[in-house]
Homo-oligomer: A and B are copies of this chain.
Amino acid sequence: MNNTFGTYITLTLFGESHGPEIGCVVDGLEPGLRVDETYIAHRLSLRRPQSHFSTARVEPDPFRVVSGVWQGRTTGTPLCILISNTDARPGDYMNLANTPRPGHADYTGFVKYRGFADPRGGGHFSGRLTAPLVAAGAIFQAALRERGITICTHISRCAGIADRPFGNLAEDSDFLENAAFPVLDQDSGERMKAAILAVAQAGDSAGGVLETAVFGLPAGLGAPWFDTVEGVLSHVLFSIPAVKGVEFGDGFALAELRGSQANDAFRMEAGRVVAETNHNGGVNGGITNGMPLIFRTVVKPTPSIAAPQRTVNLSTKSNAEITIEGRHDPCIVPRARAVQDAVTAFVLLDLLKGI
């Protein structure tokens, strides 16, 4: 089920970058959850391109909840959110239809859909489709908050600059919730912005690493063998455009540790089992252990760059060169943060329902 995800709660995503509307349908939500349109708008604003770091395309994201909500609360029947595409300028992309952009889905989409896909602006593959994910994610995040569960994501690295690691999660998450540029150390943040600007001025693009923490989670989420927390989360995290890797806890650094260093010893604390360290990122055997869930994704540099690139012409089956006009982000890492929060919230709400 390519565009539907989830087990007990399902999310179905539809639309194209330059179609009239894009949206998603969420089924299986508990009845009675509050749906706060102001909070949805806030989360959408965190995903929106900001100033000179991002694409100049204005995306006001005028969303409508057309089903599944009655008097401000979920009904328990499918919730559909629609977002209109008001600022589409299809002309910019039409010349790319036959010359796939390197690093994009143009070529693979052409093969998969045998030339029938909507070629405008990436069509169904467009990052624009993450807007409904973020809108629905606001509902999921609010529902988790009601249960004492908080999700936050910061830019761990970007354009060669590192942020400080997570510290006090309650404080860090409060800060990130309203941070347009989600870094914890402001000095690092300024240097990152400067580095991104420099990349942009060079007509190039930058990647980075997003780190997410979730706290307040109960132990017991996830299941052997295939629906591990790590497996289910990574499945959907790789749907965030440009994500090419996912790691939990110490991640790839665990390759260099010994078991005596990597194991997280348990102890009782106020009648509750806790781990003394968190090298495993809150997951043992694929199931949450009650410690903060910690993971990172790597976001590759945006493939749309100003320089001419070598490609092929799919009609003439010959080599070609392409120069990408239109609007594009030098770095989508800041915006991807809102998407990472959203899909994480979805997975956790679904896993909680399965307990």
Contacts and interface: CB of A to CB of B under 8 A. Distances in A.
A16 interface: yes
A252 B209 CA distance: 8
A298 B251 contact: yes
Given A22-B67, A226-B2, A248-B244, A207 B266 contact: no
Contacts of A246: 234, 245-247
A256 B303 contact: no
Interface residues of A, number: 146
Contact of A77 (B70, B117, B204, B254): B117
A265 interface: yes
Nearest to A353: B354
A53 to B, nearest CB: 14
A27 interface: yes
A60 interface: no
Given A27-B12, A252-B247, A3 B225 contact: yes
A76 B247 contact: no
Contact of A124 (B75, B204, B261): B75
Given A67-B124, A204-B259, A254-B207, A247 B298 contact: yes
A50 interface: no
Given A67-B16, A255-B208, A105 B265 contact: no
B2 A27 contact: yes
A328 B260 CA distance: 14
A284 interface: yes
Given A103-B259, A112-B76, A307-B260, A226 B236 contact: yes
20 contacts: A2-B28, A2-B224, A3-B77, A4-B27, A25-B25, A31-B116, A75-B117, A76-B114, A77-B123, A105-B287, A112-B287, A160-B256, A205-B260, A231-B237, A231-B239, A252-B298, A257-B300, A259-B303, A262-B303, A263-B309
